[in-house]
Copies of this chain bind each other. A is one copy, B any other.
Amino acid sequence: MTTLIDELKQKNIPSFIHKIAQDEGIGVQELIKDILDGYAVVPRNNRRNGFDPIAIGRGTRIKINANIGTSPHRCNLSEEMDKTQAAVESGADAVMDLSIAGNISQFRKNITEKFNVPLGTVPIYEAMIGLESPEQLTIGHFLNILEKQATEKVDFMTIHAGVRKAHIPLVEKRVLGAVSRGGSVIIRWMRHHQKENFLYEHFDDILKIAAEYDITMSLGDGLRPGCTADANDEAQFAELEVLGELVRRCKAANVQVMVEGPGHVPLHLIEENIIREKAICEGAPFYVLGPLVMDYAAGYDHITGAIGGALAAYYGADFLCYVTPAEHLRLPTLEDVREGVIASKIAAAAADLSRKRPAEIRRNLEMSAARKNFDWETQKKCCIDQNKFSKYLEKADTCCGDDSKETPCSMCGEWCAIKQSK
């Protein structure tokens, strides 16, 4: 089978490309050019049908991803299905299954059958299951898992091929070392074997499978900073140079590629981080985790992540991985997933508004006009979370604004400024 890039080069335009262009309000040719030039990706396993792919990257709406999946000590697949449902209902554009326990194949099958969003994975997680230690990993075993997941119709995969042996001394200078699960496994493997990262060494083999199934590569940042003191440091930027090389190798293989980024980054270093990624990786879509703009807000890291995500997206990041309030503390609950998705959507929406996306401008205007008119039904319709909107309004015990309507805001009563100034 062929990849989307192959198809587009041969002027075969799949129907979903037209649909995406329409949804995004951009031209079909513009979208195709951005995909061919590597500025945008459309993650879609070529064995997967019956779902509506999305584009991530230049010219398109900022997208958000929700991570779900089991952990060794909390492994309930139906609970994770409920979380996926909550994530998609709340507006996640994609989900990544990070399961490390249970019947993962069945779980993935359920997700691709039930949900109309692209599915991502980190194959090294499943490759680790059953091994006594990370040192036992081999490229053969890894490629088997990769291909198995490809047959399971995974649309995009995180591959930690950028962290190299030469980076280890740079990691050792850090306050918090490596905090990426995949990155830390690779570092441990390289230390033990005193060899180069096998994912880097065998990247061409990985690309062969990726091309066969048209898996979009998501180049993992194994050295993403785990605290603000480690942000934009030598280790991170050294890995980024390798990611730039891997981007070029993906392109040469007609495989779509995006690049993953931090992590913990203080406000004043976010712009530099984005600009560097775009420069070194030839404008490949940038997929960031947060970034979190401070370190000590555990319990509220959906907020520290929304601050960083809004700024990152404004400066050019394309894809935001949500952070839930549970980050650093526990596996997220259903409610954590909802709060995380909405916070991330707020960051995306704020950036899209400032980047002057017409649809975003319209929605903000519609909400504002509805406020002026005390039109609570339209406010609810425009609102980012209709359930929460209703819950808050129902708890108010009085009305404000136009006397002729049931208008339940308890803030000002007859003192309502909008009413006064009419």
Contacts and interface: CB of A to CB of B under 8 A. Distances in A.
A383 B299 contact: yes
Interface string A178-191: 11110111011000
A185 to B, nearest CB: 6
Contacts of A73: 397-399, 410, 413
Interface string A61-96: 000000000011110000000000000000000000
A13 interface: no
Interface in A376-399: 379, 382-385, 388-389, 391-393, 395-399
B364 A304 contact: no
A328 interface: yes
B180 A417 contact: yes
A350 B127 CA distance: 38
Nearest to A419: B184
Nearest to A381: B296
Nearest to A171: B421
A94 B361 CA distance: 35
Interface residues of A, number: 101
Given A134-B420, A175-B372, A410-B330, A383 B350 contact: no
Contact of A303 (B177, B328, B343): B343
Interface stretch (A33-41, A48-56, A223-231, A249-257): A223-231
A221 to B, nearest CB: 12
Q: So how many copies of this chain end up in the complex?
A: 2
A228 B330 contact: no
A384 to B, nearest CB: 5
Given A294-B364, A331-B396, A388-B300, A414 B72 contact: yes
Contacts of A372: 175-177
Contacts of A391: 299
Interface in A293-337: 293-300, 302-304, 306-307, 310-311, 314, 325-331, 333
Contacts of A326: 392, 411
A351 B418 CA distance: 32
A188 B421 contact: yes
A383 B294 CA distance: 11
B178 A417 contact: yes
A363 interface: yes
B184 A297 contact: no
A226 B418 contact: yes
Contacts of A395: 330, 333
B303 A266 contact: no
18 contacts: A73-B397, A100-B413, A176-B418, A179-B418, A183-B417, A183-B421, A184-B420, A227-B365, A228-B368, A296-B367, A299-B384, A300-B385, A303-B346, A304-B346, A307-B350, A327-B411, A329-B396, A330-B409
The 9 closest A-B pairs by CB, nearest first: A73-B398, A227-B368, A299-B388, A330-B396, A184-B420, A184-B417, A296-B367, A267-B354, A184-B421
Interface of A: 71-74, 100, 125, 128, 134, 171, 175-181, 183-185, 187-188, 226-230, 266-269, 293-300, 302-304, 306-307, 310-311, 314, 325-331, 333, 342-343, 346-347, 349-351, 353-354, 361, 363-365, 367-369, 371-372, 379, 382-385, 388-389, 391-393, 395-399, 408-418, 420-422
Given A228-B368, A300-B343, 18 more contacts: A134-B420, A176-B418, A178-B421, A226-B418, A228-B353, A266-B353, A266-B354, A267-B314, A268-B314, A269-B354, A293-B354, A297-B349, A299-B383, A299-B389, A307-B311, A329-B396, A330-B393, A331-B396
